[in-house]
Amino acid sequence: MLCFGSIMGQRIAKRHSERGVSLYNQQNYAEALLELEDACKKLTKEEDIFRNLNYLCLVYMELGRYHDVLLCAKRQVVVSGQMQNDALQAEATFNMARAYERLGEYRTSVSLCTRSLVCKNLVDMTPLSGYAHLCLANSYYGLSEIRRSLKHYDKSAHVSRILCDTVLELRVFMGLGQLFMTLQDNATALQHYVRASEIARQFSANHPCVKYQRRVAVEMAVVYAKLGRLGEALEICEEAMKQALTHGDRLVQARCLLNFAEIHREKQNYQRAYPRYQSAYAISMETGDRKCQLDVLSGMALCVFGSQDMEQAVELNEKVLKLSQEIDSKLDMLESHRRLCDIYMYLESSEFSQLHGFHVRQLLNELQLYCGVCTEIIGAKDEKLRPLPCYHIIHERCLVHLYRPTSSSTLSLQRRRPCPTCRHRTSSNPISDEEF
Q: What is the pLDDT of residues 112-155, one digit of tens each?
A: 999 998 875 555 678 999 999 999 999 999 999 999 999 999 99
Q: How do residues 356-370 score in pLDDT, each as one tens digit?
A: 999 999 998 899 888
Judge contact between 382 and 226, C-beta under 8 A.
yes
- Low-confidence stretches of the chain (pLDDT < 50) are 1-2, 409-413, 424-436
Q: What does the pLDDT read at residue 381? A: 87
Between CA 100 and CA 12 the distance in angstroms is 33
pTM, rounded to two decimals: 0.90
Q: Which residues contact 81 (CB under 8 A, 6 or more apart)?
A: 89
In order, the DSSP letters of 327-379 are HT-HHHHHHHHHHHHHHHHHTT-HHHHHHHHHHHHHHHHHHT-B-TTT-PBSS
**Among 179, 154, 181, residue whose Cα is nearest residue 169:** 154
**Among 90, 93, 87, residue whose Cα is nearest residue 72:** 93
Q: Which residues contact 228 (CB under 8 A, 6 or more apart)?
A: none
Q: What does the pLDDT read at residue 425? A: 43
Between CA 365 and CA 357 the distance in angstroms is 13
Between CA 277 and CA 416 the distance in angstroms is 49
CA dihedral 157, 66, 281, 136 (to 10 degrees): -30
In order, the DSSP letters of 81-132 are HHHT-HHHHHHHHHHHHHHHHHTT-HHHHHHHHHHHHT-TT--SSSHHHHHH
Amino acid occupying residue 188: T
Q: What does the pLDDT read at residue 434? A: 41
Quote the DSSP letter at residue 59. H
Query: Could you give phi then psi for residue 405, rounded to 5 degrees?
Result: -60, 150
Between CA 264 and CA 234 the distance in angstroms is 10
**Among 388, 323, 384, residue whose Cα is nearest residue 142:** 323
β pairing state of 393-395 and 385-387: antiparallel
Q: What does the pLDDT read at residue 407? A: 53
